[in-house]
Amino acid sequence: MLQWEKRDGIGELVDLEKLYEVIPWSMRPDESKAQARFANIVELFNFLLVNHQFFKFLSRKGYARVLDVMAGSGIAGAALAKALALRNLKVSLTVSDVRSSDLQLVHEWLKEVKGVEAETTVAEVSKIHEVMPGREKYYDVVLLWGLSTPHLDPWEMTRTYSAICHLLSDSGVMAMNEADRIFNIFYKVGYKDFLVEGESKEGLTVATIHVGYDERRGMFKRATYTLPRFKETATLGYRFWDLAGLSAMGWLFFKDVDLIPPSTHKIPGLPHVILLTEPRRKISPKDLKNDPTLLH
């Protein structure tokens, strides 16, 4: 079995930037697909705010402090801000990502949301608490949106849950939209050594190739190429999470967990939503600061 070492943060960030340059994610305010996605996310949050018990505490507060991590352009945070503002709640929004290039786009998303401004901060999600001194128990809702968890190995995901619990209020909610990759990839399709992912922004074919697996981190390493010239653009690790795994790990950090399937929310194009509420805070970020021996 080929193993590989986790790259330094700078190398990973460069490859992540290159990946987003070629893969056309729908997150920019000037894209029609992204605008439709934004409207669907607003509709989904409207559904959750009205129908799910985890969010009932917000109506009693009259305001909501929202943190959107791994935010990209902040599309999800802005959508939640709009849904909350429509319910006459005062909203403050913070968006964070390791890539600074797209974060400023959140201000474009918020142009149609009156009275809401966004604060932006560049940070790794597992260390988000380190760049926010004085904000323990501060946020009411933390979003980890956009199918982003494949970028986090189990060790980073554990630290992420702990960091978010540190920042959430006692009744706070963490919300993730996620897919079950164990079922969808390994059962329905089968893991592919070579896979065509789609078309790049320049109209080239984007494909990924399996180049390794790290059993200590549980990460598949895949190289991204553009065809027909077979130009390598990025090499990154991916964790193919399942819904039960993310939910069960989250249960260690939160007192209650729920799963909202597409058959319940019925919003086109959006997968499951994992909701976690009432952080336990039994394991602090300081407890997880140093890597275990296994990772050295």
Residues 73 and 214 in one domain: no
Residues 164 and 267 in one domain: yes
For residue 8, the model assigns a pLDDT of 56
Residues 203 and 68 in one domain: no
Residues 101 and 216 in one domain: no
Residues 174 and 271 in one domain: yes
For residue 3, the model assigns a pLDDT of 42
On whether residue 79 sits in a domain, the answer given is: yes
On whether residue 18 sits in a domain, the answer given is: no
Instruction: Give the CA diameter of the chain.
Output: 58
Residues 169 and 40 in one domain: yes
Residues 149 and 64 in one domain: yes
Residues 129 and 82 in one domain: yes
On whether residue 195 sits in a domain, the answer given is: yes
Residue range 199-227, pLDDT digits in tens: 887 889 999 999 999 999 999 999 999 99
On whether residue 296 sits in a domain, the answer given is: no
**143 neighbors 250 (Cβ within 8 angstroms):** no
For residue 27, the model assigns a pLDDT of 83
pLDDT band at 22 (very low <50, low <70, confident <90, very high): confident
Range of the domain at 104: 31-180+245-279
Residues 167 and 96 in one domain: yes
CA distance 96 to 104: 10
Domain of 82: which CATH number?
Answer: 3.40.50.150
The whole-model pTM stands at: 0.93
